[in-house]
Every structure is written in structure tokens, then in C-alpha cells.
Amino acid sequence: MNKYDPTSRFSKEAVRRSAELENGPRKARPKLGQVANQVALQYRRDTMSPVMVSGVMRIVEFGLLFVSGAALYAGYVGLGTHLYWQYPLIILGISLVTVILMEFSDCYQMPALRNPIGQIGRILLIWSATFALATVALFFLKISAEFSRYWLGAWYATGLGLIFVLRLATAQLFKRWARNGRIERRAVIVGGGKNAEVLIRSIEREPYNDIRICGIFDDRDDKRSPPVVAGYPKLGNVEELIEFARIARIDMLIVSLPFNAEARVLAMLRKLWVLPIDIRLSAHSSHLRFRPRAYSYIGSVPMLDIFDRPINDWDSVAKRAFDIFFSLLGIAVFSPVMLATAIAIKLDSKGPVLFKQRRHGFNNEEIEVLKFRSMYTEQCDPTARNAVVKDDPRVTRVGRFIRKTSIDELPQFFNALFGSLSLIGPRPHAIAAEAHNRLFDEVVDGYFARHRVKPGVTGWAQINGWRGELDTEEKIRKRTEYDLYYIENWSLWFDLKILFLTPIRLLDTENAY
């Protein structure tokens, strides 16, 4: 059995250890101060990832070069030439090699995209070198004389002009987006004082900086940590930071504490790792020096990577495409079953066919999950405070069967299609779900780390036998353990494995009531 081991990596060993919390009064969620709440609401809207923008730029530029070459070929040479496959192959090759060379030359980095004038020489060299290579290749293949020199020269001039026009236009667009806060990485500084001030000044000095600092959070009082550092206000403590990051769309936490404050750093990280954001430890003022590959950089400011957002940028695009494709397939395949179930529910008891239940979703936000109604209408429990048990009198005759076979979950294909759920991920638990009068997050320290990814219709825990009633604390801990393993080891192949194993594992109905 694959088991999630929180001690498998040294950098996470001290902050990922799940431990039981002692019984005691429930802690209320911290309330943000007025200023912190106003700042959080300003950053409520999602931004466009610079990684995604530069990736789209690669695709657009490749398409522009290919279409321009193909259009000139069709218009001047004509599609009836005997070189009917050689021309398209050359057009494809030149376009692809150009984009690859520009990638290796850092022409798709955000500073280069924002400063197209400074890249003219590099782009001209790459485009010319690609055409030179193509010409040499055609010469050695002894077919250069058969290709139109006019077409080749016209494409060279047209392609070069299109690249510069595109880059000048996108540079202006990026400037507008930067002013409007549409394309930026939002960061919060954890830790105040002199270290934070030096860090902020270093980041602000970086040219073409895409980091927007949203504020500072520090557990120390104003005597030890000033209320304003480098012009940025201290918005609260670390507990309030967790609430802040669930309102604002934050991309990164930068911990600005000296390495010798090990206990304090680890204590903060144990609280912060539940958030679905990148966490970096600033190394700008440390005397310790690691190998260059150990660092990531904001401009020239070195950072040690502590946690990364689990599914980000192009991975999130791939997972969303996976969800849409298989959700549509599932709806098509199971539509007869869903129709028959709806009729059976309607004939069996009064009330609606579908039932909505509020559950915890991505980043601990509340979502509504669709299910076929399996209880009598007047006894439905939208909060799921009272878990369904074996022979529960609230469950209808049809309800027992559809719960046992998990048919009641089929409407969640629509949740996955519209984006509130993913097909594969940690199962979303009801917001008031309890075990022995204790909320799940009181049972497992770091329980909300399950919400760093979008919850799923099925998951790794479910196909390993941890489905059904959560009536003991051990079951909650086991589910969390498997969910964290899934998050740390996510891949599309892992999702496919879980998806295809789910129907087989559903044959085991021992824990499904």
C-alpha cells in the first residue's frame, strides 16, 4: 500500500506531521481587522499567471509564423505544386525551430515580453539563423532549386514584421494589465522588522518586477515589529493571515525570518502549509550559501522553495480539460441510470429528486454539491451534522440502494463539469461533519491541507477502502493521510488510475450506508 509519509522530505518533515489535538473548547475562526479585510477584498479577483501568459505567447507566435508561411505558399506558389508535402514540412519546421530557439534564448520571459525593443537584435539573429539552417538543409537535400526564392524571401520579411508587431502590441497590453493588477504575482511578507524592510527594498529595485506586495503579517507586537515596514502595513498575525489568504487571491508567501530562528520558522510553517499557495523562505540576508539550483529567484533576490502550489499553471489546464472530457463522457454513459434513478426517487417518496449539500471546497471555500435525494424530505440534513449510519430510518428504500451503489453521487458529474468539483481529488466533507462531537479539523492537525486542491467526486482514499461513514477518528486520519499522498504525488496518470479503479472498488459496499 502506498502510504503518505510526511517525514519523507527534510524540508517538510517538521511541518507536515499530523497529530491529534487535545480535547478542549473549539477555537473560533480569527476575524480580520478592518484594514486587513479591505485589503483582502481588493485582491479578491483572480489574476493571470505570468507563466500562462508567456505560454500562450509561444503558441500564438508559432501559429502566426506557420499561418503566414502557409498563406504565402498557397497564394504565390499554389497548392498544386509537386512539392505538396515538402512546403508544409519546411513551414512547420522553421516555425517550430524559431519558437524553440527563442525559448532557449529567454525571449518568452516576462522582462523580454515587456521590453520588445531590447529584444530586436536577438529575435533578428534567431529568425535569420533559422532560415539559414533551412536553406543549408535544402541545399544538401538537393531540392533547394525547386523551392521558390520569392516565397522564402517574402516569408522571411513578413514573419519578422509580424513578430515585432505582435510583441509591440502585447507589450502595451501587458503594461495596461500591470496597471490594472491583471497580470502580477501577489505576495504577502511573513515577519516584520529590518529583515522584511531589506527584502521589500530588494524586490522593489528589480526591473520589470511582477510581484505586488499586499501586506505584512507578524506574530510579534508593535514594539518588536513596527506597524508599517517600507510603506506596507502590518495587517495581522499568522492566524489572521490564513483567513486573509482565503479571501484574497494570493500567489506567494515570503517568510522573512533569519535561518537561526528555526523554531519560529517551523512554528509558522506548520500553520501556513495548509494554504494552496507557494511558500518561499527569503535567503537574501542569510550568510549560508547553497548550490544555485537550490534557489528560485524573484529577479536576483534568492528564495528557498518550501512549498509549491500542488496543481498550478499548465497542470491546472490539463486537469480541467481532463475533468470536462470525462465528465461529459460520464454524463453520456450514465444518463439512462440517472433518468431511471430520478423516476424511482419520485415514485418512492415526496420531494425533489436532487439534494444540495454545502461542503468545503478548494481553499476551504463553501460549495454546493449535488446528490440524488436518498432521505425523506423532512428529515434531510443539509449540514450533515448527523452522519448516516447503518439502517438509518431517515433513508428511503430507494435511498438505501443508491447510497450502497454510490448512484446518489452521479449528479456530481455536473459539479465537475461546471468546475466546483474535480473528478479526482479529496472527497469534500460537509461543513459541520463531526466524529464524537469533534469537527474533523479538530481531530487532525493540518486537516485543511486537503483543500489545497479542488475536491473530487472520487479519490485515492475511496479506492483504498476509506469511503462511507466517518464514525471514528482513525478513519478521518486515514482519509487525510491518503488525501495528502494524492496531493503530493498528483499526475494525470494518477488521476486516470483512480478513475478506472473506482468502478471496481465500488463493488465493495461494506462501509456504504
Q: Where is average pLDDT lowest: 89-93, 292-296, 485-489?
A: 292-296
* Separation between Cα atoms, residue 405 and residue 364, nearest integer Å: 28
In the beta sheet, which residues pair with residue 422?
Answer: 456
Angle between helices 314-348 and 50-72 (to 10 degrees): 100
Q: What confidence tens digit (pLDDT) does each residue in 243-297 have?
A: 898 888 888 999 887 666 677 778 788 788 888 888 888 876 555 555 556 677 7
Give pLDDT, residue 294. Answer: 61
Q: Where is average pLDDT lowest: 155-169, 191-205, 458-472, 474-488?
A: 458-472
Give pLDDT, residue 10. Answer: 33
- What architecture does CATH give domain 10-19+30-47+184-307? 3-Layer(aba) Sandwich (3.40)
Q: Burial-class residue 452 by CB neighbours within 10 Å (0-12, 13-18, 19+).
A: buried
Domain boundaries, the chain: 10-19+30-47+184-307, 50-180, 314-505
Give pLDDT, residue 129. Answer: 93
* Separation between Cα atoms, residue 470 and residue 362, nearest integer Å: 21
User: 403 is written with which cell numbers?
Assistant: 447510497
Q: What percent of the chain has pLDDT over 70?
A: 83
Distance of alpha carbon 82 from the chain centroid: 49
Asked if the model's pLDDT at residue 126 lies above 90, the reply is yes
Asked if the model's pLDDT at residue 513 lies above 50, the reply is no
CB atoms within 10 A of CB 107: 23
Give pLDDT, residue 5. Answer: 43
Nearest of 86, 92, 94 to residue 133 by alpha carbon: 94
Listed in order, strand segments (DSSP E) in 284-393 are 295-298, 301-307, 354-360, 366-372
Angle between helices 314-348 and 397-404 (to 10 degrees): 150
* Separation between Cα atoms, residue 437 and residue 387, nearest integer Å: 11
Rounded to two decimals, the pTM is: 0.77
* Separation between Cα atoms, residue 423 and residue 412, nearest integer Å: 8
Distance of alpha carbon 113 from the chain centroid: 24
Would you call 295 helix, strand, or coil by DSSP?
A: strand
* Separation between Cα atoms, residue 61 and residue 227, nearest integer Å: 47
pLDDT band, residue 221 (cuts 50/70/90): confident
* Separation between Cα atoms, residue 65 and residue 100, nearest integer Å: 13
Q: What confidence tens digit (pLDDT) does each residue in 404-447 have?
A: 888 888 999 999 999 899 999 998 877 766 555 555 666 676 67
Give pLDDT, residue 2. Answer: 45
Q: What confidence tens digit (pLDDT) does each residue in 318-376 have?
A: 999 999 999 999 999 999 999 999 999 988 888 889 988 888 888 888 888 999 988 88
* Separation between Cα atoms, residue 297 and residue 484, nearest integer Å: 27
Give pLDDT, residue 160. Answer: 93
Give pLDDT, residue 24. Answer: 42
Q: What is the mean pLDDT of the chain?
A: 81
Q: What confidence tens digit (pLDDT) does each residue in 92-105 have?
A: 999 999 999 999 99
Nearest of 63, 50, 74, 73 to residue 163 by alpha carbon: 63
User: 481 is written with which cell numbers?
Assistant: 493521510
